[in-house]
Structure 1
Amino acid sequence: MEPSEKPILKVVNLNKQFGNGCSKCSNSKNRLEKNFCPECGTVYACQDISLELYKGEILGVVGESGSGKSTLLECLYFDKDITSGQAYINNYKNGRVNIFSESSQQKRFIKNNILGKVYQNPAQGLRMNFSSIGNIAENLISAGHRNVSKMEERGRELLERVNIPLSRMKEAPKNFSGGMQQRVQIAKALSNNPPVLLLDEITTGLDLSVQANVLDLIKEIQRELCISMIIVSHDLGVIRMLADRTVVMLNGKIIEKGLTDQILEDPQSEYTQQLVYSLL
C-alpha cells in the first residue's frame, strides 16, 4: 500500500451525540465524565473521528464497550444519522461528495452497491424467516437485479463460498447455528461485490473454534476479492489476526492509531498498554 495512494474511504471529523447538550458540555467537553454529561445526560458517542481506509486493507477499530466503535459503523452505514462530519468514498462520485449530505435515495444506493455490513447480531442483518438464498436475492433485488436464474446462481456461488451446504439453501437462518448465521450474513453482505465491508463484533458469542472458522473465512475472502474492510472488536486477538492498521477508541475518541504490529509491540497510551497486556 503506497502512502500516496488515495484512500478508498476517508472520514473527517465525524461526530455523533445522543442528546442536545447543554451550555456546560457544549462549550467544553472537558466537563464530561468519560463521554457523558452529568448535567444534561447527553452522550458524545463519537468525537471528531477522522480515519482513512485504503484499497485491499483491513482496518481494525478496537476499544471497550461504550467506546463508540459500533456507533461509528452505524453512522458509516447510515443506520444512525450523524451530528456532524464528512465521509468520502472513492467509488462514489470520485470521492468528491460527502456521503452524509446525500439524499436518502442516494444513501440507499450506497448501502446497496458500495458498502456491505455484517452485524454482531445476525438477526439485524438477516431476515430470519426467509430462506438463506432468499436473503441474498433480497440484496440483489435492492441493487436492481431482476434475472431470477442469475440471482439463484449468484446465491449458490456465495453460499458455497462461505461453506453453507447447498442442500440447506432453502432453509431459514433461524434454524442455523450462530456460526452458520454469521456465514450467511457474510454471503449476503458480499452479494453486490461491495468495495468496502463493515464488520461489527462478528465473533462475539461464538465458540472459539467457530470464531476461528469465521476469521479464517474473512481473511480468505479479503485476499481473494481484495475488499477493503473495517472490523470493529473489543478483542485485540481478533484485531491482531486480521488488521493491517488499527485505531484505538476510548470514550468516543481515537486515542491511538498505527500499524497493528506497532501498536501491539509498542503501545503509546496507557489505555492501549492495558489492552495489550491483558492479551499477553
Structure 2
Amino acid sequence: MDVMEKPLMSVRHFHKQFGTGCVHCKAGRTEDLVGNCCPHCGTVYACRDLNFDLYDGEILGVVGESGSGKSTMMRCLYFDQEASSGSATIRTYKDGRANLFTESSQQQRFIRNTVLGMVYQNPYLGLKMNFSSIGNIAEKLIAAGGRNVAQMENRGVTLLDRVNIPAHRRKDEPKTFSGGMQQRVQIAKALSNNPPVLLLDEVTTGLDLSVQANVLDLIKQIQRESGVSMIVVSHDLAVIRMLADRTIVMLEGRIIEQGLTDQIMEDPQHPYTQQLVYSLL
C-alpha cells in the first residue's frame, strides 16, 4: 500500500456515550471511570476518541472483547445510532469533505443505500424475513432509486449465485434458511448497489465451525473479485487473522493498538493484545 495514498474512509475523534455525564466523568479523567462506565452517574463511554483510516481494497479488522465498543462504532457508522461527536468521511461521497455524522437524515439514508453495505451478526436486523431472498435485494435496489424490474431481477440472480444460494431457493423466505445461508443472503443484499465500503459485524458468531469457514472464504473471495473495502468486527482473533490486512484492537471504548495484522500477531505491544494473541497459540 502506498503510504501517500489518500484513505477511502477516515474517522477522527469519534466519541459515543450513553448518558449525560456528571461533574466526575465530564472532566475526562479516565481514573474516575470503572472500565468505560462512570460509577457516579452511570454514563457509559462506549467509544472514546477513535481515530482510524480505511484504504481502497483493504480489509480492516476490529477486535476486542464484548463491551469494548466495536459494535457500537459500527452501528454509528451505519447510522443505526447517533454519534456523540467526531467525524467520518468517505472520499467517494462529496469528495470526502462532508462529515457523515452531521448530514441530514435524508442524506444518511442515501449513504446507507448507496455508499455503505452492512452485514449484521443477527440476520433479522439486516433482512426482511417475510420477503423472498431476491425480494430482499430488490428492496435495497429500490431504496437506491432502482425502478427497472428486469434489471433488478438480473442483479438479484447474479448476487445470489455469487453467494451460493441455489437457484430453486431464490424465491424462498430467509426465515426458512439456515444461519449460514441467512448470512450469505445478507452479504448479497449489502453488495446490491456496489458500495465502496462494506461493514461486517460479528458475522460468524453463533455459526458452526464449518459454516464459519464457508462464510469467511466467501468474504475473502468477494473482496478479491470486487475490490470492495471492508471493516470486519470480531471478538475472535482467528477470524481477524484470516481476513484483515490491518487490525485495530479495542478495549473499554479505546483503540489500544493498531497496525498490520501480521505485526500485531507476531509482536503485540499492549498486554491485552498479548493476552489475545497468546490465547491463540
Structure-1-length-normalised TM-score: 0.99
Residues 1:3 and 2:23 are matched in the alignment: no
Residue identity opposite 1:39 in structure 2:
H
Query: 1:17 maps to which residue?
Result: 17
Structure 2: which amino acid aligns with 1:13? Answer: H
CA–CA distance in structure 1, aligned partners of residues 143 and 62 of structure 2? 29
Aligned-residue offset at 1:30: 2.2
Which structure 2 residues correspond to residues 37-76 of structure 1 after superposition, within 5 A?
Answer: 37-76=38-77
Partner deviation per Cα, 1:83-115 (whole Å, 9 max, x = no partner):
000011001000011111111111111100000
CA distance in structure 2 between the partners assigned to 1:200 and 1:41 by the alignment: 26
Amino acid at match of 1:171: D
Q: Which residue of 1 aligns with 2:143?
A: 142
Q: Which residue in 2 is equivalent to 1:263?
A: 264
Partner of 1:186: 187
- For structure 1, which runs of at least 5 residues remain unmatched after alignment? none
SS of the residue corresponding to residue 24 of structure 2 reads helix
Give distance in 1, aligned partners of 2:208 and 2:35.
32
Q: What residue is the counterpart of 2:112 in the other structure?
A: 111
| Structure 1 residue 29 displacement after superposition | 2.8
Runs of 4+ aligned residues of structure 1 deviating over 6 Å after TM superposition are none
Q: Does 1:247 align with 2:248?
A: yes
Report the residue type matching 1:111 in the other structure.
R
- 2-side partners of 1:239 and 1:143: how far apart? 31
Cα distance in 1, alignment partners of residues 161 and 31 from structure 2? 52
Q: Work out the CA distance in 2 between the residues paired with 1:80 and 1:30.
A: 27
CA distance in 1 between partners of 2:255 and 2:107 (Å): 29
Structure 2 counterpart of 1:177:
178
CA distance in 1, matches of 2:3, 2:209: 36
For 1:272 and 1:14, locate their aligned partners in 2 and report how far apart those are by CA, in whole Å.
22
Q: Give the equivalent residue in structure 1 for 2:36.
A: 35
Using the aligned pairs only, state the percent identity.
71
User: 1 CA distance for matches of 2:46 and 2:32?
Assistant: 15
Cα distance in 2 between the residues matched to 1:99 and 1:30:
32
Structure 2 counterpart of 1:17, which letter?
Answer: Q
TM-score with structure 2 setting the length: 0.99
Structure 1 distance, partners of 2:145, 2:15, is 32
Task: Output the amino acid matched with 1:76.
Answer: L
Q: Which residue of structure 2 lines up, in the alignment, with residue 163 of structure 1?
A: 164
AA at the equivalent of 1:2: D
Residue by residue over 1:17-74, the C-alpha shift from the partner in whole angstroms, topping out at 9 and shown as x without a partner, is 0000000011123200000011100000000001000000000000000000000100
Q: Does 1:124 align with 2:125?
A: yes
Match of 2:82 in 1: 81
CA distance in structure 1 between the partners assigned to 2:2 and 2:116 by the alignment = 23
1:216 aligns with 217
SS at match of 1:231: strand
Counterparts of 2:102 and 2:81, CA distance in 1: 13
1:43 is matched by which residue type in structure 2? Answer: V
Q: Distance in 2 between matches of 1:62 and 1:200?
A: 10
Alpha-carbon distance in 2 for matches of 1:221, 1:80: 28
Q: Which structure 2 residue ranges, 5 or more long, are not aligned?
A: none
Q: Aligned-pair RMSD on alpha carbons? A: 0.5
1:3 offset after TM fit, Å? 1.0
Which string of whole-angstrom CA distances, capped at 9 and with x for unpartnered residues, describes residues 115-149 of structure 1? 00000000000001110000000000000000001
1:137, 1:168 → 2: CA distance? 16
- CA-CA distance at 1:166 after TM superposition: 1.3
